Amino acid sequence: MATSKGAVDLLSIAESADADLSTHKYKLVKMTATGVALASVLNERVLGVLTNKPNAAGKSAEVQVAGVAKAMAGAAIARGDFVKVDATGRLIPQTAEAAGVQVYVVGQALEAAAAAGDLVAVKLQGLVTNLAVS
């Protein structure tokens, strides 16, 4: 499903892909010592949203780091939800966490996702919190 909101790319950067990322367009990537890789750990820090399909290590990976991005949902998301990354590079809602658990909020959903695989508009706003959020 395509997003109804247009992407507003305020800042994209080019990084070297650490592997073939050709099937991961619109997923979240993280920084590595040599470039970027698919975000693969629940709630990890991310650099931004991959906006192209680099098909081998060393190829240019275009990463949107600011603005309103199209990103892939990993679960149903409500409009207005704060979102974080799942273990497959997709967005999921930020749910209640125990006090003291560090949470890396990627941004806020500007539209709803009915299911995993939907593309949604998300306002990118990196935020780290350790407060309980409900």
How far is 74 from 42, CA to CA, in rounded Å?
11
**In residues, how long is the chain?**
134
What proportion of the chain, given as a percentage, has pLDDT over 70? 90
pLDDT, position 126: 78
pLDDT, position 34: 96
Please state, rounded to an integer, the average pLDDT across all residues of the chain: 90
Residue 6, pLDDT above cutoff 70:
no
Closest to 49 in 3D by CA, of 79, 18, 82, 7? 7
| Per-residue DSSP letter, 6 | P
CA 45 to chain centre: 10
What is the mean pLDDT of the segment spanning 17-46? 97
The domain spans of the chain are: 1-134
